[in-house]
């Protein structure tokens, strides 16, 4: 029995492979890796057309462990991929080539919200469009089933949504380009937003998913998309505010940039008012005109105040530092309230244990560390705003 286990372990080492899913559009490919057992020379290939995302799915390998040992089965890699890739793909290269030839017939779904250009050193001015769609658009449901597979390749904790719910809004980014005299569109990225009900007659759009495909990242498409989505919902009187579901750090930084860009022209955020502190006028104007809640408006204020503050002036720098730390101190203040309650009900030895966990010096060190991280993030946003001016 032990010999058999050793043999299986040897085979696992010999035949374990790194899956390479090669996901192509007209210009680029990306690689996603996971360990699979039982194959030699394994390749999983996924080819997508740039616009319609028609899919070619192939599995290649030189041999499997079953060819050497009848009693050992390789992992069902193909079955796992089929659970993600929706029906309608082809396994035939010639069929896929014929689908490529039909790409000129593909047109973006939904309503055009925004167009913009990005300068490329190689290609010159490139044109992009942002469209809003919903699940009732003809052909969109099938397209979305193909589109959302990219989440699985590039976002570790991603999951599919129930797109049949009519409260979902979909925002799509496309590159518009010419090829052989014909207009083509390439999928760049997308965002899904769920419209929650707010009593008595409002809605709260919540961003659920957002993805810009790797070849297009770092070109400003995420900011263009988020700003277009904000402007769309700002035009709807029934919208209370706009939020995000479990946002990542990168999303928060992107949102800060977009909201500062939107708010910097509001009268309540004028440079001569920032040194007076965070005001009710800022909260109300951000809420009424841009559907920005108080928490997000506070961050906007801090970024704009940093931009307007001469940090080489010790007194002004100190005032700014205390203003930001006042917000950051919230969780520590909560700990102090809990400690006051503990003093009334805990035995001395228990109280000492909890006081050690809430050591004041440690709190101050953590607070300073948090402040430095926040200011560094704010500076990056200010620098980005300056380059876009």
Cα distance between residue 388 and residue 53, in whole Å: 32
Same domain, 242 and 343: no
Residue 259 lies in a domain: no
**What's the pLDDT at 19?**
36
> Quick one: angle between helices 249-263 and 360-388, nearest 10?
60
**What's the pLDDT at 13?**
41
Least confident of 56-70, 86-100, 121-135: 56-70
Same domain, 130 and 218: yes
> 366 pLDDT exceeds 70?
yes
> 293 pLDDT exceeds 70?
yes
Q: What is the mean pLDDT of residues 333-356?
A: 58
Q: What is the 3-state secondary structure (H, E, C) of the chain?
A: CHHHHHHHHHHHHHHCEECCEEEECCCCEEEECCEECCEECCEEEEEECCCCCCEEEEEECCEEHHHCCCCCCCCCHHHHHHHHCCCCCECCHHHHHHHHCCHHHCCCCCEEEEEEEEEECCCEEEEEEEEEECCCCCCHHHHHHHHCHHHHHHCCCCCCCCCCCCCEEEEEEEEEEEECCEEEEEEEEEEEEEEEEECCCEEEEEEEEEEECHHHCCCCHHHHHHHHHHHHHHCCCCECCCEECCCCHHHHHHHHHHHHHHHCCCHHHCHHHHCCCCCHHHHHHHHHHHCCCHHHHHHHHHHHHHHHCCCCCHHHHHHHHHHHHHHHCHHHHHHHHHHHHHHHHCCHHHHHHHHHHCCHHHHHHHHHHHHHHHHHHHHHHHHHHHHHC
What is the CATH number for 354?
A: 1.10.10.390
Mean pLDDT of the chain: 87
**What's the pLDDT at 349?**
61
> 226 pLDDT exceeds 50?
yes
CA angle 195, 201, 202 (to 5 degrees): 40
Same domain, 118 and 223: yes
Same domain, 285 and 346: yes
Q: Which has the closest alpha carbon to 306: 207, 226, 380?
A: 380
Same domain, 42 and 160: no
Percent of the chain exceeding pLDDT 90 equals 69
Residue 224 lies in a domain: yes
Same domain, 278 and 240: no
Are the C-beta atoms of residues 382 and 303 closer than 8 Å to each other? yes
**What's the pLDDT at 339?**
54
Are the C-beta atoms of residues 222 and 211 closer than 8 Å to each other? no
Percent of the chain exceeding pLDDT 70 equals 83
> Residue 291 — very low, low, confident or very high, per pLDDT cuts 50/70/90?
very high
Are the C-beta atoms of residues 158 and 136 closer than 8 Å to each other? no
> 139 pLDDT exceeds 60?
yes
Span 66-108, pLDDT tens digits: 888 888 888 898 898 899 999 999 999 999 999 999 999 999 9
Q: What is the mean pLDDT of residues 185-201?
A: 97
Residue 257 lies in a domain: no
What is the CATH number for 176?
A: 3.40.630.30
> Residue 334 — very low, low, confident or very high, per pLDDT cuts 50/70/90?
low
Are the C-beta atoms of residues 91 and 81 closer than 8 Å to each other? no
The total domain count for the chain is 3
Kindly report the pTM of this predicted structure: 0.85
> 33 pLDDT exceeds 70?
no
Q: What is the mean pLDDT of residues 212-223?
A: 96
Boundary of a domain, candidates 214, 246, 278: 246
> 336 pLDDT exceeds 50?
yes
Residues catalogued as catalytic: 245
Residue 262 lies in a domain: no
Q: What domain range includes position 51?
A: 8-103
What is the CATH number for 92?
A: 3.90.360.10
């Amino acid at each position: 029995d032990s010999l058999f286990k050793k043999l299986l372990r040897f085979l696992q080492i010999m035949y374990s492979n790194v899956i390479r899913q090669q996901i192509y559009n007209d210009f680029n490919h990306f690689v996603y890796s996971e360990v699979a057992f039982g194959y030699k020379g394994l390749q999983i290939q996924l080819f997508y057309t740039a616009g319609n995302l028609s899919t070619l799915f192939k599995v290649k390998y030189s041999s499997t462990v079953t060819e050497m040992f009848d009693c050992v089965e390789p992992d069902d890699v193909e079955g796992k991929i089929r659970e993600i890739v929706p029906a309608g793909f082809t396994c035939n290269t010639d069929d896929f080539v014929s689908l490529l030839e039909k790409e000129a017939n593909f047109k973006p779904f939904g309503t055009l919200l925004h167009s913009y250009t990005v300068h490329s050193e190689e290609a010159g001015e490139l044109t992009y469009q942002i469209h809003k769609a919903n699940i009732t658009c003809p052909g969109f449901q099938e397209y979305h089933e193909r589109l959302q597979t990219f989440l699985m390749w590039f976002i570790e904790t991603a999951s599919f949504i129930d797109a049949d719910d009519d409260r979902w809004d979909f925002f799509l980014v496309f590159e518009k380009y010419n090829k052989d005299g014909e207009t083509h569109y390439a999928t760049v990225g997308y965002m899904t937003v769920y419209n929650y009900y707010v009593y008595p007659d409002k809605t709260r759009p919540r961003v659920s998913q957002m993805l810009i495909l790797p070849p297009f990242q770092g070109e400003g498409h995420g900011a263009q998309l988020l700003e277009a989505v904000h402007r769309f919902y700002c035009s709807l009187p029934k919208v209370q505010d706009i939020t995000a579901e479990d946002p990542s750090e990168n999303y928060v930084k992107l949102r800060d940039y977009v909201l500062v860009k939107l708010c910097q022209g509001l009268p309540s955020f004028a440079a001569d008012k920032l040194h007076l502190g965070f005001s009710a006028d800022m909260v109300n104007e951000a809420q009424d005109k841009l559907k920005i809640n108080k928490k997000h408006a506070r961050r906007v204020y801090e970024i704009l105040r940093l931009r307007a503050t001469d940090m080489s002036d010790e007194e002004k720098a100190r005032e700014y530092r205390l203003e930001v730390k006042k917000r950051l101190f919230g969780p520590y203040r909560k700990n102090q309230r809990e400690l006051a309650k503990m003093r009334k009900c805990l035995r001395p030895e228990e109280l000492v244990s909890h006081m050690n966990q809430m050591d004041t010096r440690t709190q101050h060190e953590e607070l300073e560390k948090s402040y430095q991280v926040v200011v560094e993030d704010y500076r990056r946003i200010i620098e980005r705003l300056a380059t876009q001016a």
